[in-house]
Amino acid sequence: MLSLNIIGAGRVGQTLGRLLSDHQQFQIAQVFNLTPQANQEALAFIGAGTSLSELALSLPADITLLSVPDDDFLVVTEQLIKARALVRGSILFHCSGSKSSQDLARLCPALHALEIQLASIHPVRSFADPSAVCRDFSGTICSVEGDPQALAVLLPAFEVIGARIVGIDPQQKLLYHAASVFASNYLVTLIDTAIATYCAAGVEPDIARQMAASLAGKTLENVFALGTQQALTGPIKRGDMQTVSTQSATVSAWNADRGALYQAFILPTIDLAKR
């Protein structure tokens, strides 16, 4: 069985480590986090592997999962190369939604000299609760690109753990990831804004969350059942632009940042209503 080092076993790294280990796809070797406590928590969750306290002590594995923040890719990869943990011809893959395998190669040309096989596999879902992700990972879309030799090893393993594989263009990775930010990260910010606005209107926080949950939940159901055009309701859809203008001014008077967010949605929503 091929060995797998996990460099950065946060929510994504430890979840994939546990899934790949439980399904006997790879043997978990070394697991690295910044603190001993984080390391022990990750090892307990994965149920396999040994703790790596310093990157300088890294031992080589057949496959290395780089699951650190994007901005740390270069320094961490250079440290792995210096430690001789990336041996010639081995596989290095990451789970970044915004950077491609080509981006990693450009950041660290030494990878090419070592003939490291590169890939990126980005699961399109939230990892807020790793235990829940492990229970229902089956059917998760995983956007992939990279060297054929790396994908030939990685994709069958991800298919076993339940991934739905979708190939993407590495040249459009940032635009692709922006879509995920809109669909997930900014959606959370938007709901947070809705709850805060309810509260500013005098609604109790628990009731505000229930109101937002009722509206947002049903709206998302309609979006994916009927399409965005049919799901759109509200004053812009009805053409009540005087209401929209007055409401925008009211929100801005209460909170300038929330008002700017309200204003930013007006023109895109007008365009959607026209369609």
Q: How many helices (H) and strands (E) does the chain have?
A: 14, 8
Encode pLDDT of 11-40 as tens digits: 999 999 999 999 999 999 999 999 999 999
Instruction: Match domain 176-274 to its CATH number in 1.10.1200.10, 3.30.420.10, 3.30.365.10, 1.10.1040.20.
Output: 1.10.1040.20
Which residues, in sequence order, are CB contacts of 41 under 8 Å at separation 6+? none
* Share of residues in the chain with pLDDT > 70 (%): 100
168: left (phi over 0), alpha (psi -120 to 50) or beta: beta
Angle made by CA atoms 98, 182, 65, in degrees to the nearest 5: 30
Cα 182 to Cα 86, 91, 217: the distances in Å are 35, 31, 17
Entry field: residues in the chain: 275
Encode pLDDT of 163-183 as tens digits: 999 999 999 999 999 999 999
Cβ(259)–Cβ(252) below 8 Å: yes
Residue 202's pLDDT band (cuts 50, 70, 90): very high
Q: Looking at residue 82, what is its pLDDT?
A: 96
Q: Which two tokens stand for residue 112?
A: 């090419």
Letter for the amino acid at 232?
A: L
Q: Looking at residue 266, what is its pLDDT?
A: 97
Q: Write down the domain spans for the chain.
A: 3-168, 176-274
Which residues, in sequence order, are CB contacts of 138 under 8 Å at separation 6+? 161, 162
Kindly state which CATH superfamily the domain 3-168 is placed in: NAD(P)-binding Rossmann-like Domain (3.40.50.720)
Q: What is the mean pLDDT of residues 45-66?
A: 96
Three-state SS at 50: strand
Mean pLDDT of the chain: 96
**Buried b vs exposed e over 112-128: b needs ≥16 C-beta within 10 Å?**
eebebbbbbbbbbeebe
Q: Looking at residue 51, what is its pLDDT?
A: 96
* Share of residues in the chain with pLDDT > 90 (%): 99
Q: What is the mean pLDDT of residues 201-217?
A: 97
Which residues, in sequence order, are CB contacts of 9 under 8 Å at separation 6+? 17, 31, 32, 33, 38, 39, 42, 43, 46, 67
Encode pLDDT of 219-246 as tens digits: 999 999 999 999 999 999 999 999 999 9
Cβ(14)–Cβ(72) below 8 Å: no
Encode pLDDT of 107-163 as tens digits: 999 999 999 999 999 999 989 999 999 999 999 999 999 999 999 999 999 999 999
Q: Looking at residue 190, what is its pLDDT?
A: 97
- DSSP class of residue 65 equals E
Q: Quick check: pTM over 0.95? A: no
Letter for the amino acid at 106?
A: R
Encode pLDDT of 245-271 as tens digits: 999 999 999 999 999 999 999 999 999
Cβ(195)–Cβ(241) below 8 Å: no
Q: Select from 93, 83, 87 the least CA-distant residue to 26.
A: 93
d(CA 273, CA 275): 5
Q: Looking at residue 186, what is its pLDDT?
A: 96
Residue 192's pLDDT band (cuts 50, 70, 90): very high
